[in-house]
Structure 1
Amino acid sequence: MVNANKQGVIAAFGAYLLWGLLPVYFKWIADTGALEILAHRVVWSVIFLAIIASIVKEWRQVWRALSDWKTLKWLMGSSAFIALNWLVFIWAVNDGRILETSLGYYINPIINCFLAMLLLGERMRPIQWLAFALAFVGVSIQIFQVGYLPWVTLVLALSFGGYGIIKKKRPVEARVGLFVETLLMLPLAIGYLGYLFHSGDMVFGQSTSATWLLPLAGVLTAVPLLLFTAAANRMPFTVLSFFQYVAPSMTFLLAILVYGETLSVSMLLTFACIWTGLVFYSIDSLRRANSARRSDHG
C-alpha cells in the first residue's frame, strides 16, 4: 500500500509538472497561430492515443463509447469544452497573458463546487461559500481596477469546470474519453489544416522548429493524463486534489521569473483573495476527508 502511494505521488507530480511546463512548449512554437497549434494538438493526440489503444487493447471500449448515442452526446459536449479551453490557453500564453491562465486554474476548484451546486444539486458548505466569495472579490478587483472582465481567467475556469461536470454526469474511462473527444474534433482540425495548406499559410513544414515540435503536442496532451490516471488509481482522491495547485503555481512563477510579465497591485490583490479562499477550501476538504476516514475505521 505504501509502495502504491509512493508511485501515486510520483505519477501525480509528473502529471502536474508537465501541465505546468506547457507554457514553455507553446512559447517555443509561438510563431504558429493558436488555431494551427490546436489543430495539430488534436491530430497528433489522435495518432498517439490510437497507438496506446492498440497497445493496451482498448478499441472495444472506444467503439462502445462511439456507438452509444447517449454517451456520444455527452462526449460531444466535453469535446467542445476542452477544445475551447485548449484554444484560449494556447492563445493567452502566446499573447503574454500567462498570469491570467494561472489565475483561471487556481479558481477552478472553487468554480467546480459552484457548478456542482447549480447543475448537480450538490450543497456548498459554509467554508466553500466563503472561498467562492473571496474568488468573486478577486475577480471584481480586476474588473474595477483594470476596467475589463478578466475573460481569459473566467473562460479557462468555466470551460474546464464544464468539462468536469460532464465527466461526472457521464463517466467514461479517462484515456478512452480523451481519445473519443479528440476523434470528434479531428474532422475540423484536418479541414482547418487543409485550408492553411491550400492558402500557403501553414507554418508546419515551413518553420523547422514548428515542424519538429508540433508533433510533440500529442505526447504532451496524453502523457500527463496517463500519469494522472495512474495516480488516481494509487492514492486517495483528496490527497491527489492538492497536487492541482502545482501547475498554476508553476505557470505563475514562469510568467514572472521567465517571461517578465508584470504582477500589478490589482493582480496581486486578486491572487491574494484567491489564495486565501483556497487555504480555507483545502483545510475544509482535509478535515472532511479525515472525518470520513475515522468513520470508516470506526
Structure 2
Amino acid sequence: MTPVAVEGPMTETAKGIAAMIVACTIWGLSPLFYRQLDMVPPLELLSHRAVWSIVFFAAVLALQGRLREIPDAYKGRQAAKLLLAGLMISLNWLVFLVSVQIGKVTEASLGYYIFPLCAVLAGRFWFGERLSRAQGVAIGFAALAVLVLSFGAGVPPWVALMIGTAFALYGVIKKGLRLGPVLSVTCEILILLPLWLAILAYAGWAGDGMFGRDAWVTVLLVLSGPVTAVPLILFSYAAQRTKMSTMGVLQYINPSMQFICAVVVFGEPFTFWHVLAFLLTWLAVLVFSVSSLSAARRHRAQG
C-alpha cells in the first residue's frame, strides 16, 4: 500500500499570505456590512466605528499586557504625528462610509486602486524617492483614467481622489512613527476620542442617536469595531511575514471585491466612461504590479 504524504504545517510566509487574503476580503466585502447601516448619519457611524475599534484594540493590548505603553506613545513630536495620522485615516473612513450611503462604491473602489500610485507620488515628493519608468507610465495611465471619468461625469471623481490621497498621506505619516502596528492604530484613533464622544453625545442630546433605538442596528454598530480592527491586525500580521511586493499585488483583492459589490450587488451605474476609466486603471495596476515584482526579483538576485 502506497503511503499517503502528509503535508507539514503552513510556513510563516503562507500564514502571512492567508492573513492578507482574509484582511482584503473583509475590506472588500465591507460595503455589504455598512449598507445595513445606511440609516445612521455618516459622522455618527464614523464615531461608533472609531469608539468600538478603540474598545477592541484596548482589549487586544490588555491581553498582551501592553496597555501601559499607550501614554508613552504620545511623548514628544510623536503626539502630533499620531493626531495627523488619526485625521487622515478618519477622513478615509468617512469618505468611504459616505460613498456607501450615496451609491458611489464604484468610485471608492477606484480610489483604492489608485492608492498605491498616490503613495508612490507621495514618496517622490516627501522622501525624494526616484520613480522608475514603469511607475511613471502607471501613474500616467491612472491620471488619464481620472481625466476620462471627470470628462464623462462632468465632475472629478472626488470620492476616489480623496480616498486615494488620504490613504497615501496616512502612509507617509506612518513612516515617521516608531510604534508597533496595533499600538499605533489604537493611539491614532484614541487621540480623537473626545471628538467621537462629542459627536455621539450631541446625536443623543438631539434625539437623533441610533444606538439603542433598534436592537439589530445597535449590534451592527458594536460590530463595526471588530470589522474595522480585525483586518488591520491581520494586515499587520501579514506585513511581518510577507514580501512587500506580494502584499502590493494581494491588496488589489480589496478594490476588486468592492467593485463587484458596487456593480453586481448594488447595481450602481457603470457607463462607457466608467469602463474606459477602469480599463486604464487596471492597465496602470498591471504595469505597476509587474514592475514591482520584477524589481523584487532583481533585488533578491543581487542579494
Counterpart selection for 1:90 from 89, 97, 106: 97
Across the two proteins, how many residue pairs are aligned to each other? 295
**Structure 2 CA distance for aligned equivalents of residues 3 and 28 of structure 1:** 38
The DSSP-based 3-state class of the residue aligned with 2:179 is: coil
Aligned partner (choices 134, 146, 155) of residue 141 of structure 2: 134
* Whole-angstrom CA distance in 1 between matches of 2:236 and 2:89: 17
SS of the equivalent of 1:122 reads coil
Which residue does 2:181 correspond to in 1? Answer: 174
Q: When you count helix as a share of all residues, which structure comes out higher? A: 1
Q: Give distance in 2, aligned partners of 1:288 and 1:2.
A: 27
1:17 paired residue number: 25
Q: Which amino acid aligns with 1:202?
A: G
Q: What is the deviation of 1:69?
A: 2.0
Partner of 1:144: 151
Q: Kindly state the Cα deviation for residue 165 of structure 1 after the two structures are TM-superposed.
A: 0.5
Aligned-residue offset at 1:236: 1.4
Q: Does the CA-based 8 Å contact 1:115-1:161 persist in structure 2?
A: yes
CA distance 1:2–1:50, shift in 2 (3 Å): closer
Supply the distance in 2 between the matched residues of 1:195 and 1:270 (Cα, whole angstroms).
Answer: 41
Per the alignment, in what secondary structure is the counterpart of residue 277 of structure 2? helix
- Give the SS at the match of 2:130: coil
The answer as to whether partners of 1:29 and 1:209 remain within 8 angstroms in 2 is: no
Choose which of 233, 250, 254 in structure 2 pairs with 1:243: 250
**Counterpart in the other structure of 2:111:** 104
Q: Deviations over 1:204-247 (max 9, x none)?
A: 11123211110011101111011111111122121122111000
TM-superposed CA distance for 1:169, in Å, is: 2.5
Within 5 Å, give how 1:270-281 maps onto structure 2: 270-281=277-288
User: Does structure 1 conserve the Cα–Cα contact (< 8 Å) formed by 2:248 and 2:289?
Assistant: no
Contact 2:107/2:159 (CA < 8 Å) preserved in 1? Answer: yes
Alignment of 1:1-298 (within 5 A): 3-66=11-74, 68-296=75-303
Alignment partner of 1:165: what SS?
Answer: helix
Q: Percent identity?
A: 34
Runs of 4+ in 1 over 4 A off after TM superposition: none
Distance 1:61 1:212 in 2: 30
CA RMSD of aligned residues (A): 1.2
Q: Distance in 1 between matches of 2:41 and 2:35?
A: 11
In structure 2, give the amino acid aligned to 1:7. K
2: CA distance, partners of 1:103 / 1:82: 17
Distance 2:295 2:178 in 1: 24
Q: Is the 8 A contact 2:96 2:163 kept in 1?
A: yes
- Residue type of the alignment partner of 1:255: A
Equivalent-residue separation in structure 2 for 1:41 and 1:206 (angstroms): 17
Whether the 8 Å contact between 2:29 and 2:257 is mirrored in structure 1 is yes
**Counterpart residue type for residue 296 of structure 2:** A
Q: Which moved more, 1:49-58 or 1:154-163?
A: 49-58
Describe the superposition over 1:239-282 as per-residue Cα deviations: whole angstroms up to 9, x where unpaired: 12211100000000111111111111101111111110111111
Which letter does structure 1 place at the counterpart of 2:254?
A
Letter in 1 for 2:291: D
Kindly provide the CA deviation profile for residues 98-120 of structure 1, in whole angstroms up to 9, marking residues without a partner as x.
10000000000111101110111
- Give the TM-score, by structure 2 length: 0.95
Equivalent residues of 1:104, 1:157 under 8 A apart: yes
Separation in structure 1 between the aligned mates of residue 76 and residue 100 of structure 2, nearest angstrom: 36
- Separation in structure 1 between the aligned mates of residue 283 and residue 189 of structure 2, nearest angstrom: 36
Equivalents in 2 of 1:2, 1:45: separation in Å? 30
